[in-house]
Structure 1
Amino acid sequence: MAMKVIALAGNPNVGKTTLFNALTGMRQHVGNWPGVTVEKKEGILEYRGQRFLIVDLPGTYSLTAHSVDELVARDFLLKGSADVVVNVVDATALMRNLFLTMEILEMGLNNVVIALSKVDLAEKHGIEINIRKMEETLGVPIVPVNAKDGVGLEELKEKIHQVASGVLKERPVTPRYDPEVEREIGHITQVLRDTPLAGEYSLRWLAVKLLQRDDGVIKLVLRYLGSEKLDEIMRHIAEVEERYKRAMDLIIASQKYEFIDGLMHRFVRYSKEEGGSLSDQLDGILTHPLYGIIALFGVFYLVFKFVFAFGLPLQEMLDGAFASFGEWLAPHIANEALRGLLVDGIIAGVGSVLSFFPLVFLLFFALSILEDIGYMARAAVVMERIMRKFGLPGKSFIPLVLALGCNVPAVMSTRTLDDERERLVTMLVNPLIPCSARLSVISFLAGAFFSENRALVAVSIYATAVLLALSVAWVLSRFVVKGEEAQFIIELPEYLIPSWKTVLLHSWERSKEFVKKAGTIILAGSVGIWYLSSYPVPIGTGGSYAERLGMFFEPYMKLMGLDWKAAVSLLFGVIAKENVISTYGIIYGSVDAIVGVMSPLQAYVLAVVTTLYVPCIATIAAIRAESSWKWALFTVVYMIALASAVGMALWRLGGVLGL
């Protein structure tokens, strides 16, 4: 039996991801949609002997092609790729959520199931929803769900099965507009009726999108109608707009909301809610211009405190285990070259990086919790006031936060920004945000040289990187990448208790890339580092390739108080930032030996320079793919210059202060 395809569609922050995880469990895969860098999640659901492929579409507020996310979701639904569309609707924000529902139903789809989430929160806000009347009104099955607690999941699976099998017949409602708009829809529909489009798409949907001047639909219709007939249609649309004194997309959106409001009167009742809710009171603090900033720094200080408190003991235990394994293995290998490769190259190099996995996992764990409880959207609101002064929208905060995990997907995530100028500026400053690979360097140096204040030192380095990123954004937006500012719109979701299953799944999905890198890029880099450090003679005798390379750059490195070993480490760090530490492990035989040969000031300078200099090869490639070689090379050059200037300034300042 062929596997049925189920599409999950909905607004951002409606609980779609939690529902996806509840339906698929660990049987899921994350990749990219063909031709774009938007994340694609797929998973398997087994029910009544039938296997279903669940596809989690990008969260979107509408199906008008303004962003890549909207295009991906719309194209998937348009092509009829889904046997069932599960539209996740937030019961606390029905008006906004049903706008997307109307867009889906307007496509002519009759295989829709609505999963109504957050019903319990709606009731707390005095929103009473009559599910039976809502089903009758919308003409599609509706299942209240609480995926976190498993409520409604079995009923939802049964409805999916019935719709996919053709047992459950639907009569979905479609939006109706003012008579003048309806006449224009009828006219366009009649013109399109004699084209091949009639057999592939809902003509009414095409007509509505033409009225809204949707670029994708205009190009589609142009292929079948030709420019003359299309120009006639566009002239009709311009005449209607002239009579309304407004653009048609605004007219249709306004009338669609009026239609939804009329429907909601049939199945929604509101009871008066007294006083401000706890959510409103918390928002008063967390989005406050002053208190919100203090809270933001406090939250991220606690994040690093948590990561170090629980992660460092595990890191030290893993590091000791790899060292002990190397010591045990060495006597069993007679060949000196092979022993050096395995013990000093692979085990010492890869092991020193893998030992930092607990820190990376815990960082993702903490960020996933903040995202799940609804804090990250508040952080974006707080940062909007600051970031706008530097030429960035508050929405850029999300890609910048993603960069804390890995700059590569963070660069790719800038595609969700509608404005091209803001997208490019965000992309170019993104590599300045310390990723999880640089966290391993920062955490090691902070723990080794500043054990009493390691969290504070780490926060100071992250704060420096963020301030520099904002400063660079200001320069770029005013002198390099010019353009007009876009409006800032973001939804503040309800505060929720995190779903621990979702948090753990997210943490693992994001941090497992760190392990993959250790088994591929870091492994290759470690072998390369070992070879260059061991031949033609071992490092430290003045004759190895690595030492010769390092000595060439040493005069430059001395301006920052660093030596040739730092030069070698930073050069190999371009492959992957974790190599900065693994290189020291290979040069000294143990990363702990660095403590005896480097001062705290030198360690701090090294940590800052590692954070700011050239991004890894994968990030450079991502920037090139998302923009051009020109911008990728521009990023490399400005980051080298910035890291050098800051490193020299810190070394000079530290010397003046007697550090």
Structure 2
Amino acid sequence: MSSFALVGNPNTGKTSLFNTLTTSYEYVGNWAGVTVEKKVGDLKNGGGQLVDLPGIYSLHPLSRDESVAAQYLMEESPSALINIVDASQLERNLALSIQLLEYGRPIMLGLNMMDVAESRGIHVDPLKLEELLGIPVIPLVARTGKGSSQILSMLKEAPAAAMPEFKLDYGTAEPAIAEIEALLAPIPGLPQHRWVALQLLAQNPVILQTLETTLNMNAVKEIVMRGETELQQAGQKASLADWIRTVRNGYIDKLCTAAMDRSSQKPHNLTERLDAILTHRIFGIPIFLLFLFMLFKVTFDWIGNPLSDVLDGFISGPISSGINNALDMAGASAFTHALIVDGIVAGVGGVLVFIPQIFILFLIISFIEDSGYMARVSLLMDSLMEAVGLNGKAFIPFIIGFGCNVPAVMSARSIEQPKDRLLTTLLIPLMSCSARLPVYALFAGVFFQSHQALVVLSMYVLGIAMALLLCKVFSAYLLKNEASVFIVELPPYRLPQGRSLMRGTWEKGKGFLRKAGTLILGGSVLIWLLSYSGPGGFGVDMDNSFLAKIGGLMAPLLAPLGFGTWQSGSSLLTGFLAKEIVVSTMNIIYHVPNMEGLQGQIALSFTPLQAFSFMAFVLLYTPCLATVGVIRKESSSWRWTAFSIGYAVVLAYLISLIIYQGGRLLGWS
């Protein structure tokens, strides 16, 4: 089967094109770092597989995700490459294109964002670029699908296409290139030797590591030293790697001069005017916090809660009645009846009623991501992040964590420094993911009805504040970070397309639905069985059940925090599987017919101060099971995984203790 690789700079529209060309769908965002590992999809025309490689600026990797691309090109042999470039940033994008042309495989250039370039007064001539490079150049607007059918048709011919005849003359460096090519000749299975030689001269760590056991590296070092001596004798005060970049940049300048017309380029555009406000050094962060407040206002007060009430009425009314009638007609036993109605329907239904809030939250987050604002937030936070031991790039995984901590931990691969990457991974679980949202919605709806948005916002801010505080502590005593340079691309602001927003929202939200049908379903059955059985057998009183006894062991420890009951202990214990199960457990424990009934029981069991303390504990305590698994995978260490669980539990206890006991001292209830 033919395999094609999709390669390009970050934020050039690769993933959008991938979704258009294949039968699969991947997450799309208008910011760098969306793809953190290669993704594979089947082409819609059945012509083979398409591999979406992480966005890179060069084949010389700076981070783990960037090394994926270099490793793929070294070890695989794709039938052809599709290089996506941003027509509005052509000069910068072509630096990677030159390296891909030297790779020696059939290649086509996708000239994306032609509409953005035109709107800025930048005119690119695809035919001239095609003539100069000697490869197909296809104008694209990936987010609308324009030009994608042409790429699909050309991919059918690509496996039989001739290798591109592209060779830059590196002048004084040519003897060194030829000598390394001669060393590579006996080694089987390599890509084009000239390309490998150039990567070795550039000291590409992935290529060096791949060849360290099969190539005489001492001979390579001697060749490099001789080459640099020849450069100095020729009057060039540069290393071979710098000289190669200089030659490429000169060639790119000639290309852009011949194929681009900037005479009508507009000096100021909407992006610059918006950035003057949204990235203002004083007002930028307050604007971001105001935006978050409005997000929660819409999610809870204005739209989410009314829709949630409708869904709750539907689940507790027609659905529950229908299931009850069906079970009665089928002559189901009392055990089966209780399992389905009191266990599955109560447990899963108690979480499903929050679908409106979760999907509205994801819709607004998708809008922010697609608009280009998320990258600005990381820039705004850079000074603050640097003060605590990281840089603004680490804030991007934190923001992703608002949706789900699992992909957020994986996205930390885009951080260059290993210590920064590990530190970010350990702190991401403090970000308030969507799984905690049902808990906030339940308690804020009972005790803080007129200030729901503000209370929920306080949870998100508390998570960020704790992450920054611990970052300072960990970077000072556990993981002393090396100095790092923060480079972030600020994409142009764009009005997101409705179709893209809907797909993005669905892709995020369906993970919640999938958990409802698997993990939450299984957890609800287990919780109900523990509540239905006890030392005395089945059908025992809830207070004498196994669930009550397990929760009772935790109750004394939780008493100083304001919620020292077995019901709270049981809910928090099962919440380790998934935070949504906290609500499922309470729905089963309190044995209520609908959300209104659960809210009534919560109002009797907690005070506002206890409720706020409980929400803070849910925010900060141990990561869910899935997050623990991905932390283990990304850190490759059980020690750091155990540390992430341990510090979170201790932190949650301390913060809840301060909230509750401090509130009591102030006379709050």
**TM-score normalized by the length of structure 1:** 0.92
Please give the alpha-carbon distance, in whole angstroms, between the structure 2 residues aligned to 1:230 and 1:254.
21
CA contact (8 A) 2:38 2:53 kept: yes
CA contact (8 A) 2:71 2:206 kept: no
The residue aligned with 2:270 is 278
User: Runs of 5+ in structure 2 lacking a partner?
Assistant: 28-34, 593-597
Aligned residue among 446, 471, 493 for 1:495 = 493
- Residue-by-residue CA offset, 1:395-453 (whole Å, 9 max, x unaligned): 11111111111111211221111101110110111100011101121122222322221
1:483–1:80 CA distance, 2 compared to 1 (3 A): closer
The CA deviation at 1:348 is: 0.8
Does residue 582 (structure 1) correspond to residue 613 (structure 2)? The answer is: no
The residue aligned with 2:193 is 203
The residue aligned with 2:558 is 557
SS of residue paired to 1:86: strand
- Residue-by-residue CA offset, 1:66-86 (whole Å, 9 max, x unaligned): 323222223333445432322
CA contact (8 A) 1:380 1:398 kept: yes
Name the stretch that deviates more: 180-189 or 100-109. Answer: 180-189
The CA deviation at 1:229 is: 3.0
How many residues align? The count is: 642
- Residue-by-residue CA offset, 1:224-279 (whole Å, 9 max, x unaligned): 33355344335436646877555543443333222211222221121154552221
CA contact (8 A) 1:29 1:43 kept: no
Please give the alpha-carbon distance, in whole angstroms, between the structure 1 residues aligned to 2:540 and 2:315.
22
Does residue 321 (structure 1) correspond to residue 329 (structure 2)? The answer is: no
Please give the alpha-carbon distance, in whole angstroms, between the structure 2 residues aligned to 1:310 and 1:55.
40
1:291–1:545 CA distance, 2 compared to 1 (3 A): same
Does residue 264 (structure 1) correspond to residue 256 (structure 2)? The answer is: yes
1:311–1:53 CA distance, 2 compared to 1 (3 A): farther
- Residue-by-residue CA offset, 1:504-547 (whole Å, 9 max, x unaligned): 22222222221222222212211111112121166765311111
Amino acid at match of 2:436: R
1:40–1:274 CA distance, 2 compared to 1 (3 A): closer
Amino acid at match of 1:598: F
Amino acid at match of 1:99: A
CA contact (8 A) 1:431 1:615 kept: yes
Aligned residue among 81, 102, 116 for 1:85 = 81
User: Runs of 5+ in structure 1 lacking a partner?
Assistant: 31-36
CA contact (8 A) 1:326 1:348 kept: no
SS of residue paired to 2:544: coil
The residue aligned with 1:34 is none
- Residue-by-residue CA offset, 1:374-393 (whole Å, 9 max, x unaligned): 11111110011111111111
In the TM superposition, what are the counterparts of 1:122-201 in structure 2 within 5 Å?
122-164=117-159, 166=161, 169=162, 171-177=164-170, 179-193=171-185, 195-197=186-188, 200-201=190-191
CA contact (8 A) 1:574 1:616 kept: yes
Does residue 641 (structure 1) correspond to residue 641 (structure 2)? The answer is: no
In the TM superposition, what are the counterparts of 1:334-353 in structure 2 within 5 Å?
334-353=332-351
Amino acid at match of 2:258: R
Please give the alpha-carbon distance, in whole angstroms, between the structure 1 residues aligned to 2:255 and 2:241.
21
Please give the alpha-carbon distance, in whole angstroms, between the structure 1 residues aligned to 2:215 and 2:74.
20
SS of residue paired to 1:82: coil
1:146–1:496 CA distance, 2 compared to 1 (3 A): same
1:512–1:248 CA distance, 2 compared to 1 (3 A): farther
The CA deviation at 1:321 is: 2.7
Please give the alpha-carbon distance, in whole angstroms, between the structure 2 residues aligned to 1:237 and 1:549.
72
Please give the alpha-carbon distance, in whole angstroms, between the structure 1 residues aligned to 2:222 and 2:115.
51
The residue aligned with 2:629 is 621
Please give the alpha-carbon distance, in whole angstroms, between the structure 2 residues aligned to 1:266 and 1:23.
31
Aligned residue among 87, 97, 101 for 2:93 = 97
CA contact (8 A) 2:402 2:432 kept: yes
Please give the alpha-carbon distance, in whole angstroms, between the structure 1 residues aligned to 2:528 and 2:316.
16
1:514–1:239 CA distance, 2 compared to 1 (3 A): farther
Amino acid at match of 1:542: D
SS of residue paired to 1:618: helix
The CA deviation at 1:467 is: 0.5
The residue aligned with 2:32 is none
SS of residue paired to 2:577: coil
SS of residue paired to 1:493: coil
Please give the alpha-carbon distance, in whole angstroms, between the structure 2 residues aligned to 1:82 and 1:395.
31
The residue aligned with 2:613 is 605
Aligned residues with identical type, % of pairs: 37
Amino acid at match of 1:196: I
Amino acid at match of 1:101: S
Please give the alpha-carbon distance, in whole angstroms, between the structure 1 residues aligned to 2:5 and 2:516.
34
The CA deviation at 1:302 is: 2.2
Amino acid at match of 2:216: G
Please give the alpha-carbon distance, in whole angstroms, between the structure 1 residues aligned to 2:334 and 2:420.
55
CA contact (8 A) 1:560 1:651 kept: yes
CA contact (8 A) 1:19 1:147 kept: yes
CA contact (8 A) 1:395 1:417 kept: yes
The CA deviation at 1:502 is: 2.3
Please give the alpha-carbon distance, in whole angstroms, between the structure 2 residues aligned to 1:394 and 1:174.
39
Please give the alpha-carbon distance, in whole angstroms, between the structure 1 residues aligned to 2:38 and 2:306.
35
Name the stretch that deviates more: 180-189 or 341-350. Answer: 180-189
Name the stretch that deviates more: 317-326 or 505-514. Answer: 317-326
- Residue-by-residue CA offset, 1:463-482 (whole Å, 9 max, x unaligned): 11111111011111111111
Name the stretch that deviates more: 584-593 or 604-613. Answer: 584-593
SS of residue paired to 1:492: coil
Please give the alpha-carbon distance, in whole angstroms, between the structure 1 residues aligned to 2:559 and 2:581.
21
Name the stretch that deviates more: 3-12 or 432-441. Answer: 3-12
Please give the alpha-carbon distance, in whole angstroms, between the structure 2 residues aligned to 1:488 and 1:432.
23
Amino acid at match of 2:211: V
Please give the alpha-carbon distance, in whole angstroms, between the structure 2 residues aligned to 1:530 and 1:241.
76
- Residue-by-residue CA offset, 1:279-323 (whole Å, 9 max, x unaligned): 111111111111211221122222222322333333333333332
- Residue-by-residue CA offset, 1:594-648 (whole Å, 9 max, x unaligned): 2333222222111111001111112112212222111111111111111111111
Q: CA RMSD in A?
A: 2.4
CA contact (8 A) 1:78 1:107 kept: no
SS of residue paired to 1:635: helix
Amino acid at match of 1:583: T
Does residue 290 (structure 1) correspond to residue 270 (structure 2)? The answer is: no
CA contact (8 A) 1:114 1:142 kept: yes
The CA deviation at 1:329 is: 2.9
The residue aligned with 2:53 is 57
Please give the alpha-carbon distance, in whole angstroms, between the structure 2 residues aligned to 1:612 and 1:431.
8
Please give the alpha-carbon distance, in whole angstroms, between the structure 2 residues aligned to 1:458 and 1:539.
38
